[in-house]
Structure 1
């Protein structure tokens, strides 16, 4: 990681919170010259942006002159991870193409940026521009060329398995993330696979790709029981690549499946053990879509809602749906939301804390007289409609369209 790159990003106008987030992620891998090689899968994991959003923002930032992307081809015609160079020589903040009203997912494919403004003009007298007042020291951390690239190349050697699901298609970003989760334990009960880093992720990925879709599902099903059983007996597990290569789960005792399931149920809260259809976290995309939709509907009591501070009973009277959302969040963390709100989850985007976009949202809440929930201040990201406050009109149109479709179905 280069602190020079991070400092440069802090002064740049990226044109949106997601663009800024992507620049910070790139700076995390950059050397002192602004060069880095992160794969799209790594950037997706770091930013929690979709694959399409990563591609769109890389194109926008490249068009704006903030980054330069060099596509690299390896042996046998395969592509390696792009080399990306941050335009750290650009001292004047640049503004990439503005987001369309429909959000980041809808792009015109054309740059609205005047590239002539990207580089500041030289001094009139022809003098050499002044150097910065600090001495740039080389980063102690080398530029990171991700091991996912090796996995991608190995998986192509095995050939693609023709499956509909992206996560079951070797070579796809979703497949790479699935292999990484299998090793890191993200989303698994047993946590990280001990000493998995001693193996190459490419080696592990190749053996995962060699399995059939059913065998991959079995490997994931047996992962936690296997690791938990060995952990209880103080025995180190075999490397994950060998576990996959040997299909070791075929020789395991089925009783460890039940023990792992019992442990999983014991760790879950009552609300999580049996969640009804339509349940979602209040602070997730569907829950936040509900909250924004109800606030756009307006208060039940406008006079009461105009007060700067509302007690719990006053909030219930002024904003019944907002009160219900807050009560559900405080009590259970989630609730059952109508399917239309689940359908609108794709219209939401994560807005990082302490970002200019989140500050803009807070100002919009104040301007509209909406209640800013204190819980938002403790989150790393807050899900809001795509496109910032300017995207609320498109978000409201999407709600209305969903209502019309629901009425037609009835």
Structure 2
């Protein structure tokens, strides 16, 4: 099944195969570890040739080519002398309702298809989900043959391997524990990069790298940054992202008064100063400016509410169409503590009033769910619930995130 699926990705010459392990797992209904093991077997048997290693950046897959000469040497799948179908060549699915996954009445299954040799995965173990969980099982089933194959797989990654002492390197490789071999392979590129940055003119031999375990002297690899997650409107992560953006000073364009708005503010200010009778043709906004008593301040606050936080506006616009928004997963540990607040009730009104006090936009009266998530409340000494303190506490919790965003490392804004 896996071979046939790989062939679907290849061009007419058997080249250009680079689906991810996760995709192959989904489309063949094999586990990712099974896919990794079978790919390793195909490489060891010469059926697949590794053209480039994946894993240097998220989502990057290893690129393979079929070895057409190796495939040509395989026996004719239609030959009957071998028994039943050739698994890697059959154009018809060997699966039947009575014999799932290609099994026959044979207790061991046809060709032992589901029984694969456990070997180190093709991809670096720290780049595949679940690889570490099965590591002890893989270590227990290592053989001298699998160790030799893993050594030959790793060796070409060393820039001086052509003129290097292969025997010394092989002895050093065999002397390592299974865990150390995995680490040595996974961090080879990191070691070589560090050597280049350090200005070293020569790279040590393979044997020295392995014998002295030089990868252990490297600084720990930073955790891979998680990309944004599509969060549903008004949920925990969505609300945490919204509030985190509101903690910023207004940054949108168009929050300064234009000439028309200044003339309008001057007009209302003259009415306030003169104490003249209020004209009957004033608009609703002009009446609001008059009632506020500070026309310029009223207009400025209104513009900030409408244009001050473009990210919040975009989130709200998508929410009105029941669409989520890609939110930074860095906020999820703090969002987990958020609590549901019913749309109807005093607590929701308190959150609305707190937004108004801080000069923040609140939700439009349109499409809102029955419950919306907010930071957990803090009980006051008098027994009341303080939404302002809850916001301040959340602000303090994400201060490091806000500082990083201010340096240009924000995924959301």
Using the size of structure 1 for normalisation, the TM-score is: 0.28
**Relative CO higher for 1 or 2, CA cutoff 8 Å, sep ≥ 6?**
1
User: Counting helix residues as a fraction of each chain, which structure ranks higher?
Assistant: 1
Using the size of structure 2 for normalisation, the TM-score is: 0.28
Structure of greater Rg: 2
